[in-house]
Structure 1
Amino acid sequence: MIPAVVPCTDRALWDEQVDRFQGHPQQLWGWGETKAQHGWSVDRVLLDDGGTTIGCAQLLIRRLPFPFRALVYIPRGPVCSIEHTGAVLNSLADYAVSRHRGVALSIEPDWDRDSAYAGAVAEAGFRETSNTVLIPRTLILDLTRTDDELMAEMSKSTRANIRKAIRSEIEFRKIKNESELDQVLGIYHETAERAGFGIHEDQYYRDIFRNLGDSSPIIGAFDGEQLLAFTWLARSGSTAFELYGGVSAEGNKRRVNYGVKWAALQAMREDGCVRYDFNGLLNDGISDFKKQFAKHEDMLLGTWEKPLSPFYPAYSQAMPLARKGLQAARRTAKALAGRARTLLRAARGR
């Protein structure tokens, strides 16, 4: 039997289903709400098989120029058990065509590359692509392990820095309000400028903080009222997923970024999560820092697309070029913004 695709408009029911299937926090209602405020449309659907829900998927829809019409994208989804994967994917592909006229259905599931899911995805007509949004190479920690077991996987210097932070007068706790969020964003701008990566406008982060609420905790390292470092997460019932992190120059000097990472692991375990995903590993300094917390790496399934239109071949060639152009524009905008901040600081110093 082909499962029926049933739209869901009830936030409580939706999040309940995501957690029931041990889904990823980027499938939660609040994450979709934020994306809907920043260029995407959102469609949340349940897969019904004879009155039983066998899966769910939060679809993000991006309108494209004619003749491509739309891209339908599922971040860290869909959510279903292995035995229903093929039926769920086929129903979602049909729905993406009939409801959204998509040129392709793109998925980046929270499934291991070497799991049985990989074969089911290929059998459903999907093909792997390099048009990646979420990095599949990552580090996932098992939070059911003890503190000693987790620390045994870390480098000696990492353990030492964590213990030093714990013994210090630094307070590690969750961010409480918008005023403290302002400090978070200030440190994030500082970190991005120092490390050379691009960021969104502040309103995007404020929308995440508001829309996800308790499902998007920020763990901060405080010296009195001054924030020195933070780790910002999204969490579902089972999985904690790092979104952003930052450390001030003073916090970096005192190495409190090690302590705040450890505090985040502890907090997510206390919240009931059993997996902690560091959200991507690249060949950069930030990834080198992440890799100090374990001796292993994890590889998720990656990005897979199912062609839904005769125009898909043209789309698959145009998409990488468009993305390179967008990245170049972002780099230019970032450089201009950095120069503007430098000039503003200089003007204030006069």
Structure 2
Amino acid sequence: MIPAVVPCTDRALWDEYVDRFQGHPQQLWGWGETKAMHGWSVDRVLLNDGDNTIGCAQLLIRRLPVPFRALVYIPRGPMCSVEDAPAVLSSLADHAAARHRGVALSIEPDWDKDSPYAAAVSEAGFRESTNTVLIPRTLILDLRRSDDELMAEMSKSTRANIRKAMRSDVEFRKVKNESELEQVLAIYHETAERAGFGIHEDQYYRDIFRNMGDGSPIIGAFDGEQMLAFVWLARSGSTAFELYGGVSAEGQKQRVNYGVKWAALQSMREDGCSRYDFNGLLNDGISDFKKQFAKHENMLLGTWEKPLSPFYPAYSKAMPLARKGLQTARRLVKTAAGRARLVLRRG
């Protein structure tokens, strides 16, 4: 069986297929629209076996210098059954080579590392890669469980902090408009500076908010009209995926970051999601906070690439060096920006 690759240009139909296959929110139409506004192009395709659609994938294409031409990337996809995965992956690779002249097809599926999908990916000619975008080590909660069952996996102090926050006068609710979004961005800048991580330009986040709509809710902790903390998510029919989070200095004092996380879990369950992905665990303070909400960890399949060009060996060596250089440049820019803000404050 060689499934036919058919483009999909209807937003409602596309998102319907994502939910039909219990796909990840980074496969939703609105996520692709945002990436298309920031350096990528998008190709959404259905994989058809006769009259049956057996899979789908939202491909992101990044143009590269000659001779590499393009990288084709599928974040948290494709979507298909394990039985159909070898044929779906092979057809997608052929499509990426013929349609986009990609040097490689890179995938980071929403599949467990120990699942039968691993054998299917290898069978389709993919190899593991260190060119990781989405961290495979993560924490995924089963939202079909009750509050008591979820809290049973938390430490005593975490449960106490949640209950204290929920008994306070702080209101936990979804962000309603772009005015409140600006408060989100202000807190995110403050959090990034305090924790020492890089962020996108503000317009990127505004575009997510507009393009994703209800597919990207932000749960905020409000003291009156003043926001103290937030958790920003993307969600499909089955999966809620944390994108960003932040807390103000005052919010830290009141420990509302525990309450807003709990409110996000409950809100996503009310919206019908059965999985809540904390989006990656590293060895840092933010990850230590995430790990307070469960006793387990999850490991997804990771990053896999299929070479599509004779220039792939050169690409595979050049990409890590280029990424390291870009990270160094971002750190330098961030340091310079921090110094400039300090000078302005002193002035």
Q: Which residue type is aligned with residue 305 of structure 1?
A: E
Q: Once the 2 structures are TM-superposed, how far is the Cα of residue 300 of structure 1 from its aligned partner? A: 0.1
CA deviation map 1:213-260 (0-9, x unaligned): 000000000000000000000000000000000000000011000000
Distance 2:173 2:345 in 1: 31
Distance 1:262 1:28 in 2: 25
User: Cα RMSD between the aligned structures?
Assistant: 0.5
CA deviation map 1:28-69 (0-9, x unaligned): 000000000000010000001101111100000000111000
Matched position secondary structure for 2:103: strand
Q: Which residue type is aligned with residue 45 of structure 1?
A: V
In structure 2, what is the equivalent of residue 283 of structure 1? 283
Distance 1:9 1:48 in 2: 15
Alignment of 1:155-166 (within 5 A): 155-166=155-166
Distance 1:319 1:202 in 2: 27
In structure 2, what is the equivalent of residue 3 of structure 1? 3
2:332 corresponds to 1:332 = yes
The percent of aligned pairs where both chains have the same amino acid is 86
Q: Which residue type is aligned with residue 4 of structure 1?
A: A
Alignment of 1:76-87 (within 5 A): 76-87=76-87
In structure 1, what is the equivalent of residue 91 of structure 2? 91
Q: Which residue type is aligned with residue 124 of structure 2?
A: A
Alignment of 1:1-350 (within 5 A): 1-347=1-347
TM-score, L = length of structure 1: 0.99
Moved more, 335-344 or 35-44: 335-344
Distance 1:342 1:240 in 2: 37
Distance 2:130 2:46 in 1: 28
Distance 1:176 1:341 in 2: 30
Q: Once the 2 structures are TM-superposed, how far is the Cα of residue 341 of structure 1 from its aligned partner? A: 1.9
Distance 2:311 2:3 in 1: 27
Q: Once the 2 structures are TM-superposed, how far is the Cα of residue 112 of structure 1 from its aligned partner? A: 0.1
Q: Once the 2 structures are TM-superposed, how far is the Cα of residue 323 of structure 1 from its aligned partner? A: 0.3
Distance 2:44 2:330 in 1: 30
Distance 2:235 2:20 in 1: 14
Matched position secondary structure for 1:286: helix
Q: Which runs of 5+ in 2 are unaligned?
A: none
CA deviation map 1:8-46 (0-9, x unaligned): 100000000000000000000000000000000100000
Q: Which residue type is aligned with residue 308 of structure 1?
A: L
Distance 1:211 1:62 in 2: 20
Matched position secondary structure for 2:150: helix
Matched position secondary structure for 2:92: helix
Distance 2:179 2:132 in 1: 35
TM-score, L = length of structure 2: 0.99
Distance 2:251 2:178 in 1: 21
Distance 1:152 1:175 in 2: 29
Q: Once the 2 structures are TM-superposed, how far is the Cα of residue 346 of structure 1 from its aligned partner? A: 2.6
